[in-house]
A = this chain, B = another copy of it.
Amino acid sequence: MRMPLYLIGLGLGDAKDITLRGLEIVKRASSVYLEHYTAILNDTLEEMEQLYERKVILADREFVEQQCDGMLEEARTNDVCMLVVGDVFCATTHCDIYLRAVEKGVQVHCIHNAGIMTAVGISGLSLYNFGRTVSVVFFTDSWHPSSFYDKMGENLKNELHTLCLLDIKVKEQSIENIVKGRKIYEPPRYMTVNQAIEQLLWLENEKKQNIFNLDTLCIGLTRVGSPDQRVIAGTAEQLLKVDFGPPLHSLIVPHPGQISEMEMEMINHWRIRD
């Protein structure tokens, strides 16, 4: 009998956002791993272990990239769970694990959960009116990638809204530490709505495609799916002054000419009061 690997989405909030189906599987699994580098969950490991009544093993980037064979070997003879924040396939890493499991003759089952790409429907913008989702990555001193700015431009040209998911840097090593082979990691960094807006304005100033400026209507979303989530709409200039609080942050840039009446009503509901 082939035992399965379960990829279980945890949703966006904390340990209590697991589904009943997911929890049942976790409780009877021989090992429970938590994928731990593409997102954060608003919960300590202890709270999770208490609620799930299981030891939870942290699987960081290193684990997933280098040690996951052991986990898959285990899944040949035992029920093994890998918990994933958000929905299961929000990161391509999980396709890689999926395929490696299949190769080893391990069955894979997925238990889906909330993902940011549909949860942002809370903004009021219809999910049917979004173009491709873009990923806003941190600028460095020498590297100012602009693909998210260009893709936003394409979405505007196609009369579509843009969801911007903002960069996360977890367990990154400095170049110095990589060179010296030292496993010392930089503190985690999560891009804020403010930083994303600043980078978009910087690119507008460079490329002058009239895609994003201080008057652009934006919706900043933080900690979507958590009890303390916030949704704030306003111009880029207004949102630059807002303290959005702890991560994760996301940003929506609606197409200004393609906002339906109901969408605008919802945006007005979220609009910042000066």
Chain A residues with a Cβ under 8 A of chain B: 9, 11-13, 16-21, 23-24, 51, 86-90, 92, 95-96, 98-99, 102, 110, 112-115, 117-119, 121-122, 124, 126-135, 154, 158, 160, 224-225, 262-263, 265-266, 269
Contacts and interface: CB of A to CB of B under 8 A. Distances in A.
Contact of A113 (B95, B113, B133, B158): B113
19 contacts: A12-B112, A16-B21, A17-B20, A18-B20, A19-B113, A20-B20, A20-B51, A87-B119, A88-B122, A89-B118, A89-B127, A92-B262, A95-B265, A98-B266, A112-B224, A115-B115, A130-B133, A132-B160, A154-B158
Contact of A127 (B19, B98, B117): B117
Given A17-B19, A19-B19, A121-B89, A266 B99 contact: yes
Given A95-B262, A133-B127, A113 B114 contact: yes
Looking at A51, A121, A266, the one whose CB has the most chain B CB atoms below 10 A away is A121
Contact of A118 (B16, B96, B117, B262): B117
A65 to B, nearest CB: 14
Cβ-closest 6 pairs across A and B: A89-B121, A115-B118, A112-B114, A87-B118, A16-B21, A16-B20
A149 to B, nearest CB: 15
Given A119-B87, A121-B87, A9 B114 contact: yes
Contacts of A89: 118-119, 121-122, 124, 127
A95 B270 CA distance: 13
Contacts of A17: 19-21, 112
Given A11-B113, A265-B99, A126 B92 contact: yes
A112 B119 contact: yes
Contacts of A98: 124, 266
